[in-house]
Chain A
């Protein structure tokens, strides 16, 4: 009845990460003692995974690249604080999430100063998503565009809470701590995100089911 755990991408990536983690322990030790080559190995090992999280958080390739850079820069500055018993992948993901949040908050501040433009943009996105024409869609590419548009309709907090719960599998309590809000508020934020996604994407679920 419930979705299988394997449908959550985080579950799949976690098994790969645990293998990665085994190789990380010695490397982290060397990086902490100032070995630049060791830090380079960590960057090369984790960059692609961090990019994926950053892209889901920011929804933008350029921003995701910036987040990856900033994440490793912060990690380098804070590597003395990293406890070797901890999981490096979890630690670096948490830094990436914070960097993405900083960027999203900066974007919100910027958007407030350009409210007119954003409203127009949002309006055009809404019009796009309200005009699904399911029978004319090329399922894969067109559908992906609509999923992207639907994700862009989420507010910064909604997107973050949703990404952390849906893709990263983070518990609601931790999402609340990350966003600095109460657990119930975090839960409600996730719900609002799902509701918005449902409103935008429900027609495609039906069309997909019909096509199948």
Chain B
């Protein structure tokens, strides 16, 4: 039998599809045996590669860092559940309205009563719509805050690790435009102004890319801090959360 190739020796070590007669050959061929012993020795050395030990409290430390992120996740899930419930409520209100309209067309005598009922039905529908906007805005602010915090606290010399924030910032940009336009339409200057400040920053984070220089990232981090964006997002988020519980126009004097 010919000598075993290095690849066959590695396959033999890992018990991966042995070449025919390989074990027997290794038993009789000193040269192949020596090669094999070297590979085995190298791989035994690799087992010595140190892995830093983590203390018994490591799991708790991981949990403490993770906890607030999971809080946002739960909030997001609840937000979507609320939206689904509200959407279902709106659908029911819509069909009820259709039913009333059909009845009014067939029984014109209750037209006066219908007018009153429609007016009453429209108010909860408007409240529900407002609540949906507050839930999604609250979620948007929450995610933006998280992205900003992670970005500001990241190491400018390790732009490769910013990929997750960049991706999320990119996803937030289009939503931010939509909420800004809605807020402007509703005449909510405070929300509009904040979202207008936030948008270019999100775009810059999203476009920073893995090739961004430490200097550029550092400048952007300083700009976020100097504009007080983190403070503003927290204050606005607190207002929106309060309004979410009892929908009312957002108090516009704080920002």
Contacts and interface: CB of A to CB of B under 8 A. Distances in A.
Interface of A: 1-3, 7, 9, 34, 36, 39-40, 43-48, 51-52, 55-56, 61, 63, 66, 68-70, 72-73, 76-77, 102-103, 106-107, 109-111, 113-114, 140, 143-144, 147-148, 150-151, 165-166, 172, 187-188, 190-191, 194-195, 197-198, 201-202, 204-205, 208-209
A109 B210 contact: yes
B66 A198 contact: no
Interface stretch (B55-63, B91-99, B224-232): B55-63
Interface stretch (B5-13, B119-127, B134-142, B184-192): B5-13
A103 to B, nearest CB: 8
A9 B16 CA distance: 18
B69 interface: yes
Contact of B12 (A2, A45, A56): A2
B31 to A, nearest CB: 16
Given A72-B62, A106-B161, A144 B48 contact: yes
Contacts of B210: 106, 109-110, 113
Contacts of B211: 110, 113-114
Contacts of B54: 47-48, 51
Contact of A166 (B27, B43, B69): B43
B207 interface: no
B45 interface: yes
B59 A191 contact: no
A97 to B, nearest CB: 15
Given A44-B59, A45-B59, A69-B65, A143 B45 contact: yes
B52 interface: yes
A116 to B, nearest CB: 13
Interface stretch (B33-41, B168-176, B196-204, B244-252): B33-41
Contact of B26 (A1, A144, A190): A1
B47 A9 contact: yes
21 contacts: A3-B13, A3-B40, A36-B70, A40-B63, A43-B63, A44-B60, A44-B63, A48-B54, A48-B58, A73-B66, A76-B73, A106-B160, A106-B163, A110-B160, A140-B48, A147-B46, A150-B46, A151-B49, A190-B14, A194-B39, A201-B42
Interface of B: 6-7, 10-16, 23, 26-27, 38-52, 54, 58-60, 62-63, 65-67, 69-70, 73-74, 159-161, 163-164, 210-211
Contact of B39 (A40, A165, A198): A198
A63 B155 CA distance: 12
A1 B41 CA distance: 13
Nearest to B16: A172
A172 B44 CA distance: 20
Given A69-B66, A198-B6, 18 more contacts: A2-B23, A36-B74, A43-B63, A43-B66, A44-B60, A46-B59, A47-B54, A61-B52, A109-B160, A110-B210, A110-B211, A144-B48, A147-B45, A191-B10, A194-B10, A194-B43, A198-B38, A202-B38
A204 B45 contact: yes
Q: By CB atoms of chain B within 10 A, which of A45, A48, A140 has the most?
A: A48
B160 to A, nearest CB: 4
